[in-house]
Amino acid sequence: MKQKQITKPDLSRIRDILSKALDLQTLNLTEVSALLDVSDKELWLEICDAAGRVKEKVYGKRIVLFAPLYLSNECVNDCLYCGFRKGNKDAVRKTLTVGEAVEEASLLAGRGYKRLLLVASEHAKITGIDYLERIVNAIYDNTGVRILHVNSAPLRVEDFRRLKASGVGVYQCFQETYHIPSYRHLHGTGMKADYAWRLGVMDRAIEAGFEDIGMGVLLGLYDWRWDVAALIAHCRRLINKYGFGPHTLSVPRLQPAQGTMVDHLKFSVSDEDLRKIVAIYRLALPYVGVVVSTREPAVLRDELLSIGASQISAGSKTSPWGYMKEGDTEQFEIGDTRSLEEVIEKIASLGLMPSLCTACYREGRSGERFKHLAEETLIKNFCHENAILSLKEYEEDCATGRLKELLQKLLDQEISQSSNGICDKFKLIEKGERDIHI
């Protein structure tokens, strides 16, 4: 098929939009639509390059690392695309006890993770707020994990208050699709059938005191251009209402899973589309963290780091008890099976800075304050130093062999370019002090 010839006004219009994003201004929906309309391949390269520069301007070179911890796959809902759906009669069901959750979290902390994302299916009696609260408290009290985020079913305001009070950082929930007929078809029964209850989830979380919220659509359920625009519209509405929008946007792409009933080809999202989506999120909302999970293959994930992604999971399992034993039902198949060590090594080899930092949650840099610091390009100064400090801890506690040597070299280079302060902080870490951050 012949490529549409790009006209001069189109080109200058797109370049104006890129300049606006490079000034770290949020894009409006007309500008987002103009980017979504671009078909010229060369121009997409320019757009992706601008997205990479915006990421670097806001966050510098750091890439934050985390792992999900699946608590339960017992679910009252029947989302046609998910391996945990009620109708999947072949699923092997499991809900972690508090002790088991602590065991898995300790194992991950021992591997060097400081932040975990707790993921739970929806079952008010099994995985409701009492359960979540007990798990969060036990992990904080008994492991070296410093911040827990939660991806769970939407809660009531009073339950969100309890979740926030337990010390959770980000509350994350994906709308899946904003297209109401598709949403209804995919979520026929259970609590999740109520579109409006899900749509209002972030308002309730914010009302309860959450300033860091994570949003997304499940790419592949409906026309991705439509859903991406709708998600950005939702984010803009939150920004207008509260002064801040999402802390992170995720780009989950539909994966095959056991017992599902969805046509993966109908609205398929290609690798090229996913690159465009990451770039558009980065440009539309420059201050927001863009998260890529291990749903995606290794090579593509590495590429997305240079076009706007700022956080990635690594070494993930997607079944409850999956870190201890393979075999129970996974939510979906994993595309990148590399360990945390391998991902850290890769990030460093790309000239980026792997980070296990959790400082902003500990220092209350959230919501509007975080947005302001990011838009003023001040957050990257925190991010860079904290990334180095977290990596030094990792090098001391967990790294061995070739990775240890590589990290020592990287940290030596950082010392030579930084102030004396860092050198003193390194000495404290070498003496055994932990969680040093700014």
Instruction: Give me the residues that bind ligand SAM (CB under 6 A), please.
Output: 81-82, 119, 121-122, 151-153, 173-174, 176, 218, 252, 254-255, 257, 295, 331-332
Question: Based on CB atoms, which residue is closest to ligand SF4, 79 or 168?
Answer: 79
77 binds ligand SF4 (CB under 6 A): yes
Q: How far is the CB of 73 from ligand SF4 (least distance, A)?
A: 7
Give the x-and-dash track for 180-209 against ligand SF4 (CB under 6 A): ------------x-----------------
Q: What are phi and psi of 158, to 5 degrees?
A: -65, -30
Would you state the structure tokens that stand for residue 227, as one six-digit string? 């859903």
Binds 255: which of ligand SAM, ligand SF4, none (CB < 5-8 Å by kind): ligand SAM
The footprint of ligand SF4 on this chain (CB under 6 A) covers a number of residues equal to: 9
Question: Based on CB atoms, which residue is closest to ligand SF4, 83 or 367?
Answer: 83
Binds 332: which of ligand SF4, ligand SAM, none (CB < 5-8 Å by kind): ligand SAM
Q: In whole angstroms, give the CA distance from residue 410 to residue 344.
A: 12
Q: How far is the CB of 79 from ligand SF4 (least distance, A)?
A: 3
Question: Based on CB atoms, which residue is closest to ligand SF4, 75 or 288?
Answer: 75
Q: Which stretch binds ligand SF4 (CB under 6 A): 74-82, 140-148, 158-166, 377-385?
A: 74-82
Question: Based on CB atoms, which residue is closest to ligand SAM, 60 or 68?
Answer: 68
82 binds ligand SF4 (CB under 6 A): yes
Pairing of strands 289-292, 147-151: unpaired
Q: In whole angstroms, give the CA distance from residue 155 to residue 17.
A: 37
Q: In whole angstroms, give the CA distance from residue 399 to residue 391.
A: 10
Q: Which stretch binds ligand SF4 (CB under 6 A): 37-45, 78-86, 336-344, 425-433?
A: 78-86
Question: Based on CB atoms, which residue is closest to ligand SF4, 257 or 360?
Answer: 257
Burial of 22 (0-12, 13-18, 19+ CB in 10 A): middle
If one counts every other C-beta atom within 10 angstroms of the C-beta of residue 327, the result is 10
Q: How far is the CB of 104 from ligand SAM (least distance, A)?
A: 16
If one counts every other C-beta atom within 10 angstroms of the C-beta of residue 29, the result is 14
**Contact present, 72 and 53 (Cβ < 8 Å):** no
85 binds ligand SF4 (CB under 6 A): yes
Q: In whole angstroms, give the CA distance from residue 235 to residue 435.
A: 32
Beta pairing partners, 119? 70, 151
DSSP state of 144: S
Binds 119: which of ligand SAM, ligand SF4, none (CB < 5-8 Å by kind): ligand SAM
Taking the alpha carbons of 279, 267, 121, 297 in that order, is the dihedral positive or negative? negative
84 binds ligand SF4 (CB under 6 A): yes
SS3 8: helix
Q: In whole angstroms, give the CA distance from residue 207 to residue 53.
A: 34
Question: Based on CB atoms, which residue is closest to ligand SAM, 136 or 257?
Answer: 257
